[in-house]
Structures are given as C-alpha cells and as structure tokens.
Structure 1
C-alpha cells in the first residue's frame, strides 16, 4: 500500500527509473526498452502505442497517445539504434477453454481469420502466405500450425534493415494484442515470443538450417493462434 501511494505521488518518472533499475516491476504487463531505460506499460497502453505507431507509419489518422511516454512511441516507431530488433515484450498467457475450429473458406480457422482482418485494418494490405483455400498440406514442418489453418506468414522482402524494422513493428503489435486474438507464437528475425511463457520475453529461435533466410524467419513474420483443447 505504501509503495502504491508513492507511485501515485511521484508519477511515471519513478516508474521509468524502477523499470530501468534491474526490472523492479515484475508484474508489468508489457515493457518497452528505450534510450531512457525500460518503461512499463499496461496491456491497453501497449495496444494503443503499437496501433498508433503502425497507423502513423502509413500516414493514417491515429488515436490520441498523449498518455503514452514519447520515448516509447519513438522507440516503437524507429526501433533500436544501430540495428533492428525487439523493443517491446508482453507477458504471455494462453487461454485454456478454447474450442477446436475448422477451416473457413480462406483456409484459416475463424480465430486466424479474425487476426488477419485485424492486421489488415491496421497495417493495410500485406504480402501474406502460409494458407490457401482448402488448406495447405506441404511446404512446412511436420507439425506446423499452417496445416491446421492457424498460421499466417507476413512477408517483408527482400531482407533489409528497413524491412526488418517494419517486421518488428508488426511483431510488437501482435504481442501487444496477443490475448485479444489468442496468439500463440510470433517468430521473426531469429527470435520468438510464446504465449506459453508467462514472463513474455523474446527468445532466440534455433532454425533447423542456420543459412536459410526463410527458416530463420528473416524475411517474414510467422504468427499462429491457439488451436483449442485438442491441440
């Protein structure tokens, strides 16, 4: 109770210093690494920030972000200095009571189709793959969620610094909205995020062929949704 009172009195400046001092906010839903240190966000703030940044990048009208620290918005828009990479992470949480779904006409399950529509609304038309009407049964690993219609690949080709930063902008948005759309995994640029890992950090992704840009997910963001109780 005392700590809560102090936080209210001293405001977001203290939150920033706590976040950068060895991660003293273990219950933060999301964290953005900025030039000013780690800044904690709740889920709504992370969703607002990632959506606004994506819309502004397209020259579209964006929601009001005056409540969000400018350092957060700048980092999400520009990425880390020097090299593209993850800046935002959110805690993972996988729903346990979902029904198993069948393919829709697009070749995606309703959950995956809902996610595709939401991505299009924010990011516009994208270069997509990994699914097809009637489903796909080859071109991916043996247990791939693509075969269940639960996975979408969003391509950012050719592999370049700018395209990697665009891929991370999408990846951050997906992680911030993971609970709303039952996202299970996001894989991009040699890193992955999982709803099954509650701490929510990005982890190194060990591709089966380290020299293969596609298998390392350097040229595309892979996102899949939870499959339900039987998955």
Structure 2
C-alpha cells in the first residue's frame, strides 16, 4: 500500500486544525449567547425559602427586574401577596418573565396580552408597569380570586388555550412573591455583575424607583404625606448613595409592617443591581454586596451594627459610581 504523500498529510493536518478551530468558535459562540440570554454562565439571581426547607428558584437579572416591577405594582395597588403570586406565575408561564415582542398571533409582553383583544396598544403592553397594572385590574374583578386555585384565578384573567399550565409555576412564584413583597427577609440575592444598559448612579436608582413605585417624595418634610402611600421617599441622595426611609404601608390589604416594607425595597434594589450597577444594599442589620461568590446577606459591616441601613427605619443603596 503506497505511503501518503507529504502534501496529503499537510492537508489532513490543516483540515483537522480547521475543524478544531470551528468547534472552539461554536463553543465560544454558545457560551456568549448563554451569557447574554441568561443561560449557563450568565450572572444569576436566586430566591430561597424563608422556612429553611431548601426550596430555591434561580433566575436571571432580566427576570429579576421584571419580577420586582410586577410585585411593586401589585403592592402599590394595595393588593395582597396572593395577587402578586398569581401575577408572577402567569408571567412565568406566558413569557418566562421576559418582556418579549412576539407571541401567539399579536400577543406581546410579560403577560402576552393582545392589542386586538382590548388589552391596550402595543406600546402600552410592552411597558411592564402598564401590563402589570392591567393584569391586576382584571384579576381583582375575579370574585374570590385569593381563595381560588392559582391556575383557576390566572385562567379567568388570561383565557389561555392551556388553562392548567399556570399551576406548575406556583412554587417558584410563591418564593418570589414572599421575597419581593418583603414577607420573607434576606432571601433574594443576585451576583450583581454590571450588565444593564441604563446609566448608573443614584439618579438612575431614583428614576427606577419612580418607574416601579410611583412619584418620589424628595424631601424629609414631605414624609408626612408619604406615610399613607406605598411610594418610597428619598431623604438622602449624595455621592453614590441613596437612602430610603421605611414606613408602614397603610394602603395595602390589612396593612404591611415596616419590616416587610423595608425588605421589599431592599430586595427590589438587589433585583435591579446588575441593571443599575448597585454595589451594596443594607437593611435591618444585614448587608448584600455585589460580586460575592455566594451572594449572601451578611451581618452589616457598620461598627456595632449601627448606622443608616442597619436598622428598620431606612434602606441604604450604594452604587458603583
């Protein structure tokens, strides 16, 4: 059998190297897509059960921002945690908690609402504040919705072709709602790796708070009027720090205490950390810092556990710049 020629061997080596290079490119491309879209290797968030039963849900920063918005709109309307759970489970099923511009027929947004069915204009539906609000408007018209099985309550709003699909998201939605309404303390964390497109800094934090919670009160003198509303106030904003006072939310169903309100704001800040380049959040003697390998809430670094953000009366948010 004749020996292969040197030129044939060279071509073979070049082909093998080319194939290996293409494989490397494919792997690199896959990892890049996964990073951007929230797959394996993406900067992540997690919420755990406050009961210590090991329940856990992992999700992306994009999903965290949308979940925090849905919860803020719900509590801002004075609705109970059950309403927020139903809304989150619905958005998990309909869009995976992503504000998508496509769907079945003309369905759009977090809840896959259809302009042709009277849910609003395309622009309105793609606004998470509007789409969350219009979902809650329909939900509260469902008689006894807090007592109904989640899938039944969601289906009476959505009229989906897959009415049983919402039920499988209830465990994850329950964990998210407990954290994002503030009932479950220090249970939501994110890596906080900067990745958003918004301009970072205290002004961006203030704008995002206004987006989710409504009009901001800008001075301490206005706090008297703010106490009866769910709108957070900024009493200090300087350098790279925003300080939010925490008062009981009297407008919600049955009222929520100071501690729950504080943890809602603290978890909201962590959920928005990547987008707004938030470096540190402090509340109730606990502190979350971006970039920790385990992303845990730890005892506050303030000496003796004192200082703004270490008690129940304020949440301190520190941005990277």
Q: Deviations over 1:107-151 (max 9, x none)?
A: xx97210110111110123221223xxxxxxxxxxxxxx4xx211
How many residues end up aligned between the 2 structures? Answer: 170
Q: Which has the higher helix share?
A: 2
Are the structure 2 counterparts of residues 79 and 114 from structure 1 closer, same or farther at C-alpha, using a change threshold of 3 Å? closer
Matched with 1:156 is: 246
Q: Deviations over 1:188-230 (max 9, x none)?
A: 11111112324322111143244x5746232111001112xxx
Q: Write out the 4+ residue segments of structure 1 that deviate beyond 4 Å after TM superposition.
A: 25-28, 60-64, 212-215
Q: In structure 2, which of residues 59, 62, 68 is the aligned counterpart of residue 41 of structure 1?
A: 59
For 2:309 and 2:57, the matched residues in 1 are separated by 32
Is contact 1:76-1:87 (8 Å) kept? no
Is contact 2:283-2:310 (8 Å) kept? yes
Matched with 1:179 is: 274
Matched with 1:165 is: 260
Are the structure 2 counterparts of residues 116 and 27 from structure 1 closer, same or farther at C-alpha, using a change threshold of 3 Å? closer
Are the structure 2 counterparts of residues 53 and 161 from structure 1 closer, same or farther at C-alpha, using a change threshold of 3 Å? closer
Q: Secondary structure at the match of 1:154?
A: strand
Q: TM-score, normalised by structure 2?
A: 0.45
List aligned pairs for 1:42-61, cutoff 5 A: 42-59=60-77
Are the structure 2 counterparts of residues 79 and 200 from structure 1 closer, same or farther at C-alpha, using a change threshold of 3 Å? closer
Are the structure 2 counterparts of residues 59 and 93 from structure 1 closer, same or farther at C-alpha, using a change threshold of 3 Å? same
For 2:187 and 2:65, the matched residues in 1 are separated by 14
Is contact 1:79-1:165 (8 Å) kept? no
Q: Deviations over 1:145-178 (max 9, x none)?
A: x4xx2111111137x9722111111222211211
Unaligned runs of 5+ in 1: 1-24, 96-108, 132-145
Shift of 1:70: 2.7
Q: Deviations over 1:2-57 (max 9, x none)?
A: xxxxxxxxxxxxxxxxxxxxxxx997711111367011112222222121111111
For 2:311 and 2:317, the matched residues in 1 are separated by 11
When the two chains are superposed, the root-mean-square deviation of aligned CA atoms in Å is 3.4
The reply to whether residue 85 of structure 1 matches residue 111 of structure 2 is no
Is contact 2:194-2:273 (8 Å) kept? no
The reply to whether residue 66 of structure 1 matches residue 83 of structure 2 is no
Matched with 1:32 is: 47
Are the structure 2 counterparts of residues 128 and 41 from structure 1 closer, same or farther at C-alpha, using a change threshold of 3 Å? same
Matched with 1:9 is: none
Q: Which has the higher strand share?
A: 1
Is contact 1:79-1:85 (8 Å) kept? yes
Matched with 2:302 is: 207
Matched with 1:117 is: 207
For 2:194 and 2:64, the matched residues in 1 are separated by 18
Matched with 1:103 is: none
